[in-house]
A and B are shown apart, each in its own frame.
Chain A
Amino acid sequence: MAVERLVVEDLHFSYGRAPVLRGVSLTVKPRTVTTLMGANACGKTTLLLLMTKHLRPDAGRVLLDGRDIAEIPWKDFARRAAVVHQSGAAPDDLPVRALVAYGRAPHTAPLRGLTRADEARIDWAMEATGVAPIAGQALGTLSGGQRQRAFLAMALAQDTGLLFLDEPTAFLDVRHQVETLRLVRQLGEAHGLTIVMVLHDINQALMYSDEVIGLKDGRVFVQGPPADVIDRDVIFALYGIRLETRAEGGRMWVLPVTPHMGRPRSP
C-alpha cells in the first residue's frame, strides 16, 4: 500500500467570526497512529474535517504527497483516504454487507457492478473487523460496537493508505471502546496504515497512539510520542485541570477524577 505523506501548513479556519484554528502546522508520520487531543472546542474535529476536504481552510494548505488536497478530486481523494465519522446515518434495514460494499464506490465506475476483486475486498474488510458473521444483518439490529465496526469495515473496503477516525469510541461502553481501539491499532500495524484520530479520553490517547498532537488556542501545543511530550503540566495546559498521574513500565496514566474535599455523604 502506498505510503501517504500528510502535511498541514499554517492552517487557519473560523466558523463565522469565531477563529478556531490560528496557524496549525504539522506533519503526520506515515504508518503510525496519530491522535489529536485537547479540550472541547479546541478544534480537533475541525482539523480532522479540514484534513479530509470536508471543510475549506481560510488560509494555509493540507498537502497529500505534496499536492494540495483542495485540488485533488473527491473520487481520487476517496481512493487514498477514508474517514469514519462520528455516528454515521444509514437506513435501519440496510444489511451490513451492503454498507461495507459502499466502500468500493471510489473504485467502481458509475453503473458498473462490483467486480470479483471488489467482492473479495469487501469480504476481507468484514473479516478484518469481525462483522463477517453478521454480514446479512440489518444495521438497525446492531449494537453500538457492531455498528461502529461495520462503518470501520466500509472505510477499510475503500482500500486507502490513510484512515481518519472522528471519536471512534463515542457512544460506546468501556469494553467496546477498548475493543475498537485495539482493533484500530491492530489493523494499522498489520496493513501499514497511517491513522489519524480524534479521542476525548486522555488515557486512551496515551495508550493507543504512536504520536499525539495536543491542540490549544487553535495551535499545536505539543506533538510527539506520548511518553516524551505529555506530563502533568502539559495536561494542565491542554485541558485546564490539574490531574494526578501515575507512571508504570514507561507508560503514563492520568486519574481523570480529583478527590473532593467533603466527607462522603451518609446514605
Chain B
Amino acid sequence: MRAGRRTAATGVCACLVLAAMTAALLLAAMKSGSIRLTWGDLLRGLFQTYDARVAAVYDLRFPRVLIALLAGAMLSGAGLLLQAVLKNPLADPGLIGISGGAAFAAAAVAACFPALYLSLPLFAFLGGVLAFVVIYALSWRGGLDPVRILLIGVAIGAVFSGLTAVLDGMTAAGGVSVSAGGLTQRSWADVTRLAGYAAVGLAAALALAPACNLMALDDRTVRGLGVRADRLRIVISCAAVWLAAAAAASVGVTPFLALLAPHIARRIVGSDHRILTPFALLLGAFTLLLADTAGRLIAAPREVPAAVVMSIAGGPFFILLLRRRDRIGR
C-alpha cells in the first residue's frame, strides 16, 4: 500500500546506497589479491612515484575489476530485459542458451578468423540471436510456457557448450584456447573493447525502461493502447541479446547472475523499471565483482573463477525461486 512517490524516493536512495557499496567494493577489490598493498602504497604508486608492484596491479588487476563490473551490469541488464519480454521471471540468457550461442559464435570466429578479434561481440550477437530465435520458435505453442522455454533453452545451451568444448579441444592443441576465458588475464585493451559494446547496450536498457513497464501488461492491453507490442518485443529482445552476447564474448558464460540480480533488485525496489533497471544494473556489477573478488581470495594464491562462484551461489537460489513459484500455485 505504498504511495508511488514514496516508492520512487526509496528507489533512488537504494540506488545511491548500492552505488556507494559498489564503489567501496571496487576499492577493496583493487587493493586485495596476491600482491599485497596498503592504501598508501596504492595511492602513492598510482599518482606519485613509480612502484613496480602497483604498476603490475594497474596492468593486471584493474582491467579485470572493471571488466567484472561491466560484464556484471550487462548480464543483469540482459536478464532483466529478457524477463520483461518473456513475462517470465525465470528467464536467464545463460540458462536458456543465448549466452552459449553467443560464446560459441565468438569462439568459432576467433578460431577461424583471428583477425576479426575486435568485432567478436558482433558475431557473438549474431550467435545469440540465432539461439534466441531457435528457442523461441521451438517453445512457441500459441503462447510461451515459462517452463517449456527453460527446458528447450537448457537443451540448446547444452548443444552450444558442447560445440564450444569441441572447438576448444581442436584449437587448444595449438596452445591457445579460443573460448572466452572468464575474467583472468585481462588487459586494458579488453576493457576498452568491452566498454563500447557495454555503453550501447546499457544505454538501451535504461532507455527501454518505460517499454519494459508496458510489457508487464497483457499484450492485448498494450496493443489496445496503440503500442505495437510485437515490435517492442523485438527491440527489447535485441537489446537483451546484445548485452548477453557481448558479455559472453568477453567473459564466457556466467550462470545465474542474470537471474539472481534482477530478482533481488525487484524485491528491493519494486517492478517500476525506471528505478528497477538502474538498480539491477548496479546490482549485477556489484555481484559479479563480489564473486570474482571472493574467487580470487578464497583459495589464494589459486583462483576460483567467478562463473564457478556464481554457479555454487546461484544454484540454490534458483531452486529457492522455483519452490516459491510452486507455493504461489501455478
CA distance A136 to B5 in the complex (A): 8
A94-102, A194-202, A230-238, A254-262 - interface stretch: A94-102
* B1→A105 contact, CB < 8 A: no
Closest CB-CB distance, B109 to chain A, in whole Å? 36
Residue total for B at the interface (Cβ-Cβ under 8 A): 21
Residue total for A at the interface (Cβ-Cβ under 8 A): 32
User: Interface readout for B265-280 with A: 1 if CB under 8 Å, 0 if not?
Assistant: 0000011100000000
B59-67, B112-120, B210-218 - interface stretch: B210-218
* B220→A83 contact, CB < 8 A: yes
Query: Could you say which residues of chain A place their CB within 8 Å of the CB of B53?
Result: none
CA distance A92 to B227 in the complex (A): 22
* A106→B220 contact, CB < 8 A: no
CA distance A95 to B220 in the complex (A): 20
Asked if A35 is at the interface of the complex by the 8 Å CB criterion, the answer is no
Query: Could you say which residues of chain B place their CB within 8 Å of the CB of A90?
Result: 216-217
Cross-interface CB contact of B3 among A82, A89, A136, cutoff 8 Å: A136
* B216→A91 contact, CB < 8 A: yes
CA distance A97 to B272 in the complex (A): 13
Cross-interface CB contact of B225 among A54, A91, A95, A102, cutoff 8 Å: A102
* B4→A102 contact, CB < 8 A: no
In the complex, the chain B residue whose C-beta lies closest to that of A151 is: B221
Q: Is the interface of B mostly helix, strand, loop or mixed?
A: loop
CA distance A242 to B6 in the complex (A): 57
Query: Could you say which residues of chain B place their CB within 8 Å of the CB of A94?
Result: 216, 271-272
CA distance A77 to B226 in the complex (A): 7
Cross-interface CB contact of A74 among B3, B214, B228, B272, cutoff 8 Å: B228
In the complex, the chain B residue whose C-beta lies closest to that of A155 is: B224
Q: In B1-49, which residues have CB < 8 Å from any A CB?
A: 1-5, 7
In the complex, the chain B residue whose C-beta lies closest to that of A77 is: B226
In the complex, the chain B residue whose C-beta lies closest to that of A98 is: B4
User: Interface readout for B65-83 with A: 1 if CB under 8 Å, 0 if not?
Assistant: 0000000000000000000
List 14 extra interface pairs beyond A54-B224, A106-B225, CB under 8 A: A52-B224, A54-B220, A77-B226, A82-B224, A85-B221, A89-B217, A89-B218, A92-B271, A94-B272, A98-B272, A105-B227, A136-B4, A138-B2, A141-B1
- Interface residues, chain A, CB within 8 Å of chain B? 52-54, 73-79, 82-83, 85, 88-95, 97-98, 102-103, 105-106, 136-138, 141, 158
- Interface residues, chain B, CB within 8 Å of chain A? 1-5, 7, 214, 216-218, 220-221, 223-228, 270-272
Q: What are 14 A-B contacts defined by CB distance under 8 Å?
A: A52-B224, A54-B220, A85-B224, A88-B221, A89-B218, A89-B221, A93-B2, A93-B272, A102-B217, A103-B225, A105-B226, A136-B3, A138-B1, A158-B225
